[in-house]
Amino acid sequence: MDYSRLTEVYQKLEKTSSRLEMTSIVADFLAEVPREDLQIILLFLRGRVFPSWSEKELGIGHKMVIKAISIVSGIPENKVEDKIRETGDTGIAAEQLMVKKAQTTLFTERLTVRKVYENLDKLASLTGKGSQDKKISYIAELLSFSQPKESRYLVRTILEELRLGVGEGIVRDAIAQSFQVDPRLVERAYSLSSDLGEVARIAKSEGNDGLKKINLMPGRPMEVMLAQKAKDIQEVLDKFKIVAFEIKYDGARIQIHKDNSKVHLFTRRLENVTKQFPEIVKSAKENIRGDSAIVEGEMVAIKDLDDRHPRPFQDLSRRIKRKYDIPEMVKKIPVEINLFDVVFYEGESKIGEKFKNRRKLLEKIIMETDTFKLAEQSITNSIEEADKFYRRALNLGHEGVMAKNLDAPYQPGSRVGYMYKIKPIMETLDLVIIGATWGEGRRAHWLASFLLAVLDPDTGEFLTIGKMGTGFTDEQFREMTETLKGEISEQMGKEVKLKPKVVVEVAYEEIQKSPTYSSGYALRFPRLVRVRTDKGPQDADTLQRVEELLSK
C-alpha cells in the first residue's frame, strides 16, 4: 500500500475531533488495507512503529531528524531549526522545506507503508560505532522518496509525535465496524493478545469464530483486570460478605510470563522490562513450578534485604527506565515481588476460574523466597479484623489494601466490580500555572502541558511541583490556551514561561520527594479537576501544606 493513501487518512483524522467520525474514517480505510499490511497500518494510525510490549524502540531525537531534513532538502541545519521555531511543528517544517525538493526532483520511487516500516525497523536495531550516521541515512532515504505532505506525517511518526487522537478504543470499534464482527469479541481478543494487528487479521479472514479462539499465550502480555475504588472497608463487606483483603503494595504491577526456560516481564502498560530486572527473571525460573505460567504481582523497591519497608516509587521508576548499568542498579535499588494471581498455567487459561481457586493454585506453584513471595492476605467478614489488616498495610508504608471477591473470575482489561482498592483519601491542591509546552499534531496550536507551582509564602516565589497534561477536553485546551496566551513572558522553541496568574485545582495519586522540581517535591499523575477562577496566585496552596499532606 502506498504511504500516500495513509497520509490522506491522517489528513482526514487531523480535521476532526469527533470519535464517531474518526471511527468511521478508520473503519472505511481498514476495509481496503491488504491483510498483510494490517499490522503495520494499525500501529502507524496510533503513531507507533512497534507494539508497546516490543523491546524495539526508535529513540530518534530532533537533531537527527534535522540533519536528515537538511541533507534531503539542501537547506542548512540552522535554517531548518528556524523553520521549526516559526511553525512550532517539526512535521510542518519538513513539509514546507520539502516543497522545493519536490519541484527539482524529476523522478522518485513511490513510498510504501512497508518501506517506511522496514527502514524504521532497521534503524531501531542499529547500535555502536557509526550507528548515528546510518540512522540518519535511513531517515533521509524515506524523506527523499516522500512527497511534501507525506514528509509531515513521516517526521511526526519518527519523532513519535503524531498524536491524532486515535486511541485503542477507536481502533477496536473500527475493526468491528469494518469487518462486521461483534465488538465485545474484538475487545476480548485484544485484552488477551494486546495485538490489534492480529485481531484485525483474524476478524477480516475468520470473523467471530476466529476471534473466539484467541487466547492467552506466554510471552505476549495481556491487559490486566482493574480495580474500582471503595470509600471504606464496610462498603466491600456489604458487597461480598466475606472478602480477601491483600496489601496494596506501593510499587508497579508486573506480569511474569514463563515459557520453559524463557521468562518475560511486562508492566501494566505492557512495556517489556525483562532486561531491567534480571534478579526477578532468575527467581521466576527457579521458583515457579511447571513449564508455562502467567502470574501477576506487585514489584516494590525496598531499602535493603533486611529492611522490607518500601522506598519511594521514583526509585523503582529509575530501575524501570534504566537501559544500561543494570548490575549496578540491582545492587543500588533492590526489589521484591509480591504475587497475587495466576491466569495461565501449563497450557491452560485460568481466567474463568474463581479467584479463591486461582489463589490456591498460585500457592501451590510458587516456592517463596525473601524477595519472591505471595502477597500478604487476610480472608474475613469482620470489620475489626479487616481494619487491623488495613492499618498494618499503612504502617508498613504501603498504600492501603485491595479487597477481592473470592468467587469472581478474572476479567482482562476491565474495571469490573470484582476487586476494589481502599486507601486514604488524597486531598486536591490549588496550584499556579507558570509555564507550558506547545502541543504536537492536532494540538499543535494549543498549549498542551502545563508547569505547576506552589507558593512559598516566605519569599513570595512560586516553586515548581510537576507537569500536567491530562484531565482536559479539547475545548478546555482551547480555552486554556486563549487564557494563557496573553500571559506568555518568554518563549524558547515550544517551551513558554508564563506570568503566574491562573490557578487550577489538581488531583494526583501521590506526593513524592524529587530533585527535579524547585519545591523538592513532585506530584505523581496530576490531573485537572477545575480552573479556580475564584482564586488568585496568592491564594494558591503553599509548600507548607504540601509537606503537611505528605506527612499524612
Residue 534 has a pLDDT of 65
Q: What is the average per-residue pLDDT within 44-63?
A: 86
Same domain, 389 and 460: no
Same domain, 415 and 458: no
Task: Tell me the one-letter amino acid at 338.
Answer: N
Task: Tell me the one-letter amino acid at 535.
Answer: K
Contact 102, 74 (CB under 8 A): no
CA distance linking residue 356 with residue 405, whole number of Å = 8
CA distance linking residue 296 with residue 341, whole number of Å = 5
Strands (E), 275-428: 292-301, 335-345, 348-349, 372-374, 377-380, 400-405, 419-422
194 within domain boundaries: no
Same domain, 266 and 402: yes
For 418-461, how does the pLDDT look when each residue is reduced to its tens digit (9 = 90+)?
999 998 877 789 999 999 999 887 777 899 899 999 988 766 68
Same domain, 138 and 234: no
- Helix or strand or coil: residue 424? coil
CATH number for the domain including 496?
2.40.50.140
Residue 346 has a pLDDT of 96
Q: Which residue has the higher pLDDT, 203 or 303?
A: 203
C-alpha cell at 361: 493454585
User: pLDDT-based confidence at 162, cuts 50/70/90?
Assistant: confident
pLDDT at 471 over 70: no
82 within domain boundaries: yes
For 360-392, how does the pLDDT look when each residue is reduced to its tens digit (9 = 90+)?
999 999 999 999 999 999 999 999 999 999 999
C-alpha cell at 88: 512550532
Number of independent structural domains in the chain = 3
Residue 269 has a pLDDT of 79
Task: Give me the chain's average pLDDT, please.
Answer: 90
Same domain, 267 and 402: yes
Active site residues per annotation: 248
Q: Which of 422, 441, 456 is the last residue of a domain?
A: 422
C-alpha cell at 9: 487518512
Same domain, 416 and 447: no
222 within domain boundaries: no
Distant-in-sequence, close-in-space partners of 364: CB < 8 Å, separation ≥ 6 = 289
Task: Tell me the one-letter amino acid at 25.
Answer: I
Q: Torsion over CA of 382, 386, 387 and 391, rounded to 10 degrees?
A: 160
216 within domain boundaries: no
Contact 263, 407 (CB under 8 A): no
pTM of the model: 0.75
C-alpha cell at 412: 482482562
Instruction: List beta partners, residue 295.
Output: 256, 342
CATH number for the domain including 289?
3.30.470.30
User: Scanning the structure block, which residue is given the C-alpha cell 487531523?
Assistant: 14
Domain extent, residue 135, equals 3-158
- Helix or strand or coil: residue 228? strand
Distant-in-sequence, close-in-space partners of 515: CB < 8 Å, separation ≥ 6 = none
pLDDT at 287 over 90: yes
215 within domain boundaries: no
Residue 106 has a pLDDT of 47
Q: What is the average per-residue pLDDT within 530-541?
A: 79
Same domain, 456 and 355: no
For 97-149, how does the pLDDT look when each residue is reduced to its tens digit (9 = 90+)?
988 665 555 456 789 999 999 999 999 988 888 899 999 999 999 999 999 99
Residue 105 has a pLDDT of 52
Q: Which of 128, 158, 188 is the last residue of a domain?
A: 158
Same domain, 364 and 379: yes
205 within domain boundaries: no
Q: What are phi and psi for residue 378, nearest 5 degrees?
A: -135, 120
For 506-522, how does the pLDDT look when each residue is reduced to its tens digit (9 = 90+)?
999 889 998 899 999 99
C-alpha cell at 162: 503524531
Same domain, 411 and 491: no
Integer distance in angstroms from the first to the last C-alpha of the chain? Answer: 58
- Closest C-alpha among 451, 454, 411 to residue 433: 451
101 within domain boundaries: yes
- Closest C-alpha among 185, 191, 193 to residue 211: 185
For 260-284, how does the pLDDT look when each residue is reduced to its tens digit (9 = 90+)?
999 999 998 788 999 999 999 999 9
CA distance linking residue 431 with residue 471, whole number of Å = 15
Residue 444 has a pLDDT of 79
Residue 552 has a pLDDT of 64
For 318-366, how does the pLDDT look when each residue is reduced to its tens digit (9 = 90+)?
888 788 889 999 999 999 999 999 999 999 999 999 999 999 999 999 9
Distant-in-sequence, close-in-space partners of 301: CB < 8 Å, separation ≥ 6 = 251, 310, 311, 312, 313, 315, 316, 319, 333, 334, 335
Q: What is the average per-residue pLDDT within 496-510?
A: 88
Q: Which of 131, 158, 185 is the last residue of a domain?
A: 158
110 within domain boundaries: yes
Residue 265 has a pLDDT of 96
Same domain, 412 and 433: no
CATH number for the domain including 102?
1.10.3260.10
Q: What is the average per-residue pLDDT within 17-36?
A: 93
Same domain, 236 and 112: no
Instruction: Report which secondary-structure segment, H or E, holds 253.
Output: strand 252-259
Same domain, 414 and 435: no
